[in-house]
Structure 1
Amino acid sequence: MVVRYSIIIPTFNRIQQLLLTLVAFETQTYPKHLMEVIVADDGSTDGTQQMVLEFQASYRLIYVAQPEQRGRSAVRNLGLRHAKGRYVIFCDADFLVLPHFLSTVDRYHRKYPNAILSGTPHSMDDAYTHYHPDFSPEEQLQFHSTIGPTGVWKPEFENAIEVMPLITPDDLIHQTGTLSRVLIPRRIPPAIIDQFARTDVAPWMLFVTRCVAVRRRYLLRLKGFNERFVLYGLEDWELGYRLHRLKLPFIPIKEVVGYHQEHPTSFRGNQVNLENLRIMFDCHGFNDSAVNLFVLSPPSEDLEKYKNTLRILRRGLRMKSTRSSALLLRRTLRLAAKQFYRQHNVQVYKQSIRRSQQLSLNRRSQVATVLREMLEKADKLVD
């Protein structure tokens, strides 16, 4: 039987979360002979290899590893090289899938066979599957306020020096309902959910590898992730951007198909990784305002502002009355991106920005208002 889905799970020292993620795939309602799970280990030192090799899976489970840590892009590509499925699903080691996960993905793919399907934004909520002694004081407070009233709280959490489970494999296998008691109230504002789900501008931002599915042949055509991205940030959006340039549709899965297993924020990298942004420009140049805008209005800071700026720019370019302001806005974004990337000729850059500021005076359109805002930010870029 041909494998339909290859689930690639990259991991690095996440043994506790990974165990639950592997168990969650045991509960799938989708036929297991049509799936394979590939754990791609980026040089873990916490016993991950032994745990995976000893895991008694009812599905095909493959373990591949790099001898030392090489980064998120390289380890995902390692998993991709071993994938046999028609579709590839990238699933983080701390993404706890629900029993209907694969059945839901497959239903969407039957309707949209060439689309990139994303669990973002409707499966971005979190669950406390473990207590982490490395939680910050603020995270400790949030943990206690969420778990305290549920009856799951244990006194030994107070002095724990190791990670302690709140959810067990048996809880998942037997669907005891414990998971529903440790869910964290939604923290993502509805406006952000809405902006992620809308694909009229920058649809490639749905390519978030916590949970995303795509035809394997498209990934092979693009040679997977760019391995120049080693640190956290932009490595998934950059591949999504290249898939977007193939004119592939991006569709968010509206159903909740899983939960992120909450962990200390110290586990995460810097989302606004400036070195990775320079790699993005090095690879794709300065001709796309959606990429250039990262310099002056990063989506990680305000996704709604980022997307609305692109919408205003697009409308401005279509209307004769606002086209000159829109062209000036597009030029400003390009100038700022080039200055960020090259970091030279500051005086020439400043003069260009000041000239544009003079031209923008007394213009009353919406695009002119955004232009002045971006010019102010562009001016501060070299302060």
Structure 2
Amino acid sequence: MAIRYSIIIPTYNRAQQLLLTLVSFETQTYPKHLFEVIVADDGSTDGTKEMVEGFQASYPIKYVTHQEQLGRSAVRNLGLRHASGLYIIFCDADFLVLPEFIRTVSRYHRKYPMAVISGIPYSWDDAYTHYYPDFSPEEKEHFRYRLTQTNLWNMDFESANEIIPLITPEDILHQTGALSKVVIPSRVPPNIKKQFAKTDVAPWTLLVTRCVSMRRSHLTRIGGFNERFVLYGLEDWDLGYRLHRLKIPFYSIKEVVGYHQEHPTHFRGNVINTENLKIMFETYGFNDSSLNLFALVPPSEDFETYKNTLRVLRRGIRSKLTRSSALLLRRTLQLTAKHFYQQNNTQAYKRSLQWIKKKAKNRKSRVARVLRKMLLKSEKQVE
């Protein structure tokens, strides 16, 4: 039978975490002849190639690589070019899937065959599968606290100079229960999880590549990931935005299907969301408030305010009583995004904000209150 799911795992110098992730696919309850795993290596130098090629998998597995590091988008596209499944599942190298993972994704796709299916926000929980000597002091304190709670703390960790595994491949294969002892209760506030799961505004923010599935034909149609995004930040939401523009729906899996293997934050590399956001504005222009708002309220910093602002704007546009205030709000977001991108003519920008501020001064609707808050944020950007 034909491959139904191609699981693409991009990786760069994550051999130890990747090994556990590959082992976790051994435990899948979904028929192994119906899925394949493609490890797309962005030029690792830590023995990833040898580990994958020596891995004795009971499912089809492919290893593809760039000879040099080309970035997060390019390596995912590399995996996509070698995929044969009807659906593509993007799974991070540090995402440890549970046995029902593919079966659960398949159940959602049977109900929503044309949709993007996301493991976010219910699979945001972390697990300490390894100790890293280059954890930051704060990360080491979190590690110590969690392992002390489960009686796994060992003073030897404090003097360790090498990575120490806490979970072994045998623990995953034989479901020993060891994993449950190192799971970290989610640090994501319930209100943020709730906002991610809602798809009434900006549903494309559900596309987070830790764990997400979609039709291969849809990815081919839009050309995969934008390879101008090289480092961390926005490459997944950019892909989601383009799929959203094709009217493709988004749904969240309302159960835990895996755990992120906790690691030092610096593994992600430099966060350059500012430059990546400029790429998005250059690509799509300034006519969409859901993008323009990124310049004032980055969703990664305040997701609840981001979504609620879009809701207020949408309701305001629909009502004759608040439409003029809503249009001023939309104009404010557009002006701020343009100024963020161009970084010029600051005086003209300030004059425009002052004109809008004067217009909004005595208005009492909720739209007007949000407008004044956004104006205040806009003014602070040029102080």
TM-score, normalised via structure 2 length: 0.99
8 Å contact kept, 1:233–1:270:
no
The 2-side partners of 1:133 and 1:277 are apart by: 33
Task: For residue 295 of structure 2, give the secondary structure of its aligned residue in structure 1.
Answer: coil
Corresponding position of 1:336:
336
CA contact (8 A) 1:152 1:166 kept: no
Letter in 2 for 1:102: I
Alignment of 1:65-214 (within 5 A): 65-214=65-214
- Report the residue type matching 2:334 in the other structure: R
Structure 1 CA distance for aligned equivalents of residues 132 and 298 of structure 2 = 31
Per the alignment, in what secondary structure is the counterpart of residue 294 of structure 2? Answer: coil
Task: Assess if the C-alpha contact under 8 Å between 1:32 and 1:58 holds in 2.
Answer: yes
8 Å Cα contact 2:317/2:323 also seen in 1: yes
The answer to whether residue 242 in structure 2 is matched with residue 276 in structure 1 is: no
Deviations 1:186-232 (A, max 9, x none): 21100000000000000000000000000000000011000000010
Q: What residue in structure 1 maps to residue 3 of structure 2? A: 3
Asked if the contact 1:28/1:100 (under 8 Å) is kept, the reply is: yes
Do 2:231 and 2:271's aligned partners in 1 also have CA atoms closer than 8 Å? no
Q: Is the 8 A contact 2:5 2:88 kept in 1?
A: yes
Choose 94-103 or 134-143, whichever is displaced more.
Answer: 134-143
SS in 2 for 1:293: helix
> What CA distance in whole angstroms lies between the structure 1 residues aligned with 2:123 and 2:380?
37
Query: Is residue 223 of structure 2 the alignment partner of residue 233 of structure 1?
Result: no
Cα drift, residue 374 of structure 1: 0.7
Give the SS at the match of 2:223: coil
| 3-state SS, counterpart of residue 214 of structure 1 | strand
Q: 1:268 deviation in Å?
A: 2.4
- Maintained 8 Å contact 1:29/1:100: yes
SS at the partner of 1:38?
strand
For 2:27, the equivalent position in structure 1 comes to 27
Aligned equivalent of 1:364:
364
**SS of the residue 2:183 aligns to:** coil
Deviation at 1:150, TM superposition (A): 1.5
* 1-structure distance, mates of 2:300, 2:189: 13
Task: Give the superposed CA RMSD.
Answer: 0.9
Q: Matches of 1:145 and 1:156 in 2, distance apart?
A: 15
The code of the aligned residue for 1:39 comes to: V
* TM-score normalised by L of structure 1: 0.99
For structure 2, the 5+ residue unaligned runs are none
The answer (yes or no) to whether the contact 1:238–1:280 under 8 Å persists in 2 is yes
Q: Structure 2: which amino acid aligns with 1:326?
A: A
In the aligned structure 1, how far is the partner of 2:71 from the partner of 2:352?
39
**C-alpha separation between the residues in 2 aligned to 1:261 and 1:25?**
15
Counterparts of 2:272 and 2:335 in 1: how far apart (Å)? Answer: 20
Contact 1:272 1:300 (8 Å CA) reproduced: no
CA distance in structure 2 between the aligned counterparts of 1:115 and 1:259, rounded to whole angstroms = 23
The runs of 4+ residues in structure 1 deviating greater than 6 Å are none
Report the equivalent of 2:314. 314
Query: Whole-Å Cα distance in 2 between the matches of residues 149 and 308 of structure 1?
Result: 37
Deviation at 1:152, TM superposition (A): 2.6
Question: Structure 2: how far apart are the matches of 1:227 and 1:18?
Answer: 23
Q: Letter of the 2:45 partner, please give it.
A: T
Letter in 2 for 1:218: H
1:155 deviation in Å? 3.3
The share of aligned pairs that are identical, in percent, is 69
Query: Structure 1, residues 291-332: CA drift from partner, whole Å, max 9, x if none?
Result: 000001111111000000000000000111100000000000
Task: Tell me how far apart the structure 1 counterparts of residues 381 and 56 of structure 2 sit (CA, whole Å).
Answer: 55
| CA deviation map 1:163-206 (0-9, x unaligned) | 11000000000000000000112211000000000000000000
What is the CA-CA distance between 1:270 and the residue it aligns to?
5.0
Once the two structures are TM-superposed, the CA of residue 272 in structure 1 deviates from its matched residue by 5.9
